[in-house]
Structure 1
Amino acid sequence: MGIIQVAQHAEDLERAGRFYAGLLGQEPAAKFDPPGLLFFVVGGVRLLLERGAPSSLIYLAVPDVHATIEALRREGVEIIAEPTAIFRHEDERIGPAGTDEWMAFIRDSEGNSIGLVSHTPVHL
């Protein structure tokens, strides 16, 4: 079993498509309008932007959350929460051992929150 698709509310598909294309660094994989569906494929999982979908909290892996936040800030994206180290992975149960997990949060063009996550090696 695996996750095949996550849906996110998008009132304006054109606006949301531009936002996510910039954030993800790729163009949409498919658009069906009507009925109002826009797809991106992220790490093998479909991200569906849909007028009828509820808002979801999506977490995206980024190489460097600090650099990503600064780039998004320069583009005028609303930063909800600055990068914070939230957890140290001592083992491999939920992330790479020997790393700190950093998170930050932004708001997309449709008012949804998005978490950005990166792992930094622990230097003792």
Structure 2
Amino acid sequence: MRLQQIAQHAEDLGRAADFYRVLLEAEPLARFDEPGLLFFELDGVRLLLDRNAPTSLIYLYVDNVHETLERLGGLADVVSHPHVIFHHHDDTLGPAEHDEWQAFIRDSEGNTVGLIAFQRP
């Protein structure tokens, strides 16, 4: 079994497309104005932005949390600035001997999105 799709609320598909295009550095896979669906591909998992979906908290892996926030510029409100949440001594939840950095942003649709990066201290 594997995760196939994650849905996130998006009231304005155009605005959401602009935001996620910058965040994900990717073009949408498909857009259906009726019934209000927008798809992106995340390494084999579909991200569905849907007018009828509830909001959810998703965490996205990024290479560098600080650089991702810089690239987004003023497109996102920072809810929680980058910080180390955990040092991984083994590889149970992340790469061994790496710090796990997290930050939280609010997307164009008001959803909170977590950003995670693993870096050597």
Per the TM superposition, whether the score is higher than 0.5 is: yes
| Letter matched to residue 7 of structure 1 | A
Paired with 1:106 and 1:43, the residues of 2 have a C-alpha distance of 21
Aligned pairs for 1:48-67 within 5 A: 48-67=48-67
Q: Does 1:70 align with 2:70?
A: yes
Identity of aligned residues (%): 56
Paired with 1:87 and 1:9, the residues of 2 have a C-alpha distance of 29
Kindly tell me the number of residue pairs found equivalent between the two proteins.
Answer: 121
Paired with 2:9 and 2:75, the residues of 1 have a C-alpha distance of 21
Are the equivalent residues in 1 in contact too, given 2:82–2:101 (CA < 8 A)? yes
TM-score, with length taken from structure 2: 0.95
Structure 1 residue 76, shift from structure 2 partner: 4.1
Partner of 2:43: 43
Partner of 1:107: 106
**Distance verdict in 2 for CA 1:5–1:76, change over 3 Å:** closer
Are the equivalent residues in 1 in contact too, given 2:80–2:104 (CA < 8 A)? yes
CA RMSD after TM alignment: 1.0
Q: Could you list the runs of 4 or more consecutive aligned residues of structure 1 that deviate by over 3 angstroms after TM superposition?
A: none
Are the equivalent residues in 1 in contact too, given 2:75–2:108 (CA < 8 A)? no
Q: Which segments of 5 or more consecutive residues in structure 2 lack a partner in the other structure?
A: none
Structure 1 residue 69, shift from structure 2 partner: 1.8
Partner of 1:2: 2
Deviations 1:47-101 (A, max 9, x none): 00000000011111111112222332x3342111100100111111111001010
Paired with 1:68 and 1:22, the residues of 2 have a C-alpha distance of 9
Are the equivalent residues in 1 in contact too, given 2:23–2:68 (CA < 8 A)? no
Partner of 1:87: 86
Paired with 1:76 and 1:109, the residues of 2 have a C-alpha distance of 7
> 1:75 is paired with a residue of what secondary structure?
helix
Structure 1 residue 4, shift from structure 2 partner: 0.3
| Letter matched to residue 86 of structure 1 | I
Partner of 1:97: 96
Q: Which segments of 5 or more consecutive residues in structure 1 lack a partner in the other structure?
A: none
